[in-house]
Amino acid sequence: MSRHRDDVLRRFEDELIHATSGIAPRTGTEIALGECQILCQLEPDQLQLLASMLIETEHEVGEVLVASGTLPDGISWLLSGEVDLFVPIDGLAHDARLRGIGPGAVFGELTMVNDDFDRGSAVTTQRTRIARLNGADWNGLWEAHPELSNAMLRGLAELLALRQRRLLDRKSARKPATLVVGQGRLRSGCPTLAAPLAV
């Protein structure tokens, strides 16, 4: 009964995340590397070079891919299956589930720019196949293939910009500004108007 309840809660959380942010886990499919986040803008020769550096692994349900509080050793793309991402929350004894991700999604990507970002955990919820670029190989790309590393950073920038737009859209949808007539201000964190509006 507990496993069923957990599955129902997970689906509900994913539906809620999708409804508020547009981020939907893609499950039940297998995806090509070139369709994955960050990589979809790469030229065919860049993608082929990157593919030669990746390590593909398969994982069973419940495997911890990244332990809480540790840094991922590289960047991982989901080719099939599903992974739950968790983040540490101060004051909680365990990590809180951030969301589920499916084929085409990436995790550990923030280590491309700063090792201090990714401190959560990643756990498989289905049989999962992953392509991973080791951290040392990512660092070596800068010198050996700067055009590829720059293209991947552009892909990361586009992904982060998309996430920010969705977050801002979600925040503005939740907090509609309401005018307080005669007091010259808007509520919900909007800036104060210079003078009261005549109504």
pLDDT digits (tens, 9 = 90+) for 169-195: 876 666 554 444 444 333 333 333 233
What CATH architecture does domain 26-175 belong to? Sandwich (2.60)
Per-residue confidence (pLDDT) for residue 186, from 0 to 100: 34
Average pLDDT score over residue span 2-29: 57
Q: Is the model more confident about 15 or about 42?
A: 42
Average pLDDT score over residue span 81-92: 88
Please write the tens of the pLDDT for every residue from 110-169: 777 776 665 788 999 999 999 999 988 988 888 899 999 999 999 989 988 988 888 888
Domain edges within the chain: 26-175
Q: In what order do the strands lie in the sheet with 83-87?
A: 64-66, 121-124, 83-87, 96-101
Per-residue confidence (pLDDT) for residue 74, from 0 to 100: 87
The label of the residue with tokens 């289905």 reads: 126
Closest by Cα among 168, 82, 85 to 119: 85
